[in-house]
């Protein structure tokens, strides 16, 4: 039995992942963006052991979330699932002066990772959309679209996660693409019912397969897949990490 934190578990893949894990007998801590969504997460995952709250679009709130998660831990695995989808018409600048999609999808999991002890398994929910992402660290320009910003965010997430995997070699640190899944983000026409979209995240967090125990892989349907070449470029990855260090004042853990 493992103790596992799943972020963004008030609906969608996060809620189903948490339910799957409790059904397998694991102890699960769920997460919602505020107290109302934390209650919703507990209602969605009735066998959850505990809940933590924090809004990923606020650096102050993520710091509070990290403190609550540290208190609820330690965890055998953390599944960084929460994210914003591409359905945003225009850039939104947060109280921290960052574009919201970038902050929620890239900066918030970085901050949570920096402010919590590294768990033996770290599973980051990415997307095959990273393949058409650009490692663009500039401010939103006039050509900004939600779809490009989402793809960029999943590439940037994957780049710093792979850099973490390269340095924190004692932990299994991987990125999972769940597939196109019927959720609020995936929409009703998605090819996978919700239950099938959680198979690989659950497997990566709990199985003893070599892939799940290894590190630095992009995994879909329980198999490693090729990545956008930027993910494999140490210099480009280091530039992403340096940018995140500058924004947050935090450095990634090495142990
Ligand atoms: N569905 C797909 O086809 C698909 C494909 C590839 C990758 N993914 C990835 O899979 C993961 C889960 O997506 P999903 O389809 O389950 O999406 P979803 O149904 O929209 O769920 C996203 C979750 O993230 C939470 N979240 C969003 N913004 C937040 C914030 N500011 N603070 C805290 N929590 C926040 C949401 O909270 P609320 O419930 O309060 O809104 C929700 O629980 C994401 O990383 C997504 O990028 C999904």
Query: 183, 11 in Cβ contact below 8 A?
Result: yes
In this predicted structure, what is the pLDDT of residue 185?
98
In this predicted structure, what is the pLDDT of residue 254?
87
Q: Which residues line ligand 1 (CB under 6 A)?
A: 8, 10-14, 32-33, 37, 55-57, 81-85, 104, 125, 127, 177-178, 180-181, 183-186, 190
Query: 150, 89 in Cβ contact below 8 A?
Result: no
In this predicted structure, what is the pLDDT of residue 194?
97
**Which atom belonging to ligand 1 lies closest to the Cα atom of 16?**
16
Q: Model-level pTM?
A: 0.98
* Domain ranges (residues) in the chain: 3-248
In this predicted structure, what is the pLDDT of residue 137?
93
In this predicted structure, what is the pLDDT of residue 255?
74
In this predicted structure, what is the pLDDT of residue 111?
98
Ligand 1 geometric centre to CA of 183 (Å):
8
Dihedral of the CA atoms 88, 194, 1, 53 (nearest 10)?
A: 30
Query: 86, 147 in Cβ contact below 8 A?
Result: yes
Ligand 1 geometric centre to CA of 187 (Å):
12
Residue 46: exposure state from Cβ atoms within 10 A (0-12, 13-18, ≥19) = exposed
Ligand 1 geometric centre to CA of 198 (Å):
13
Residue having the nearest C-alpha atom to atom 7 of ligand 1: 127
Q: Which residues of the chain have pLDDT under 50?
A: none
Identify which of 55, 109, 185, 201 to mutate to test ligand 1's pocket (most ligand atoms within 8 A of the CB): 185
Residue having the nearest C-alpha atom to atom 30 of ligand 1: 56
- Fold of the domain spanning 3-248: Rossmann fold (3.40.50)
Query: 184, 204 in Cβ contact below 8 A?
Result: no
* Cα(42)–Cα(209) distance, integer angstroms: 30
In this predicted structure, what is the pLDDT of residue 192?
97
């Amino acid at each position: 039995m493992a103790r596992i934190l799943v972020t963004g578990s008030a609906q969608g893949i996060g809620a189903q992942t948490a339910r799957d894990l409790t059904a397998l007998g694991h102890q699960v801590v769920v997460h919602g963006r505020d107290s109302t969504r934390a209650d919703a997460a507990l209602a969605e995952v009735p066998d959850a052991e505990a809940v933590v709250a924090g809004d990923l679009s606020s650096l102050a709130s993520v710091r509070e979330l990290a403190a609550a998660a540290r208190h609820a831990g330690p965890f055998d695995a953390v599944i960084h699932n929460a994210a914003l989808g591409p359905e945003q018409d225009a850039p939104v600048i947060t109280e921290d002066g960052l574009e919201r999609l970038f902050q929620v999808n890239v900066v918030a999991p970085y901050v949570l990772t920096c402010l919590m002890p590294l768990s033996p398994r770290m599973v980051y929910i990415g997307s095959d959309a990273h393949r058409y992402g650009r490692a663009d660290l500039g401010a939103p320009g006039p050509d900004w679209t939600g779809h490009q910003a989402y793809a960029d965010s999943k590439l940037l997430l994957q780049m710093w996660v792979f850099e973490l995997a390269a340095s924190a070699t004692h932990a299994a640190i991987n990125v999972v693409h769940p597939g196109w899944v019927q959720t609020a983000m995936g929409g009703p026409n998605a090819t996978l019912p919700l239950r099938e979209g959680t198979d690989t995240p659950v497997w990566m967090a709990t199985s003893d397969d070599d892939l799940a125990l290894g590190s630095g892989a992009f995994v879909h349907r329980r198999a490693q897949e090729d990545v956008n070449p930027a993910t494999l470029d140490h210099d480009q990855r280091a530039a992403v990490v340096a940018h995140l260090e500058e924004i947050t004042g935090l450095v990634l853990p090495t142990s």
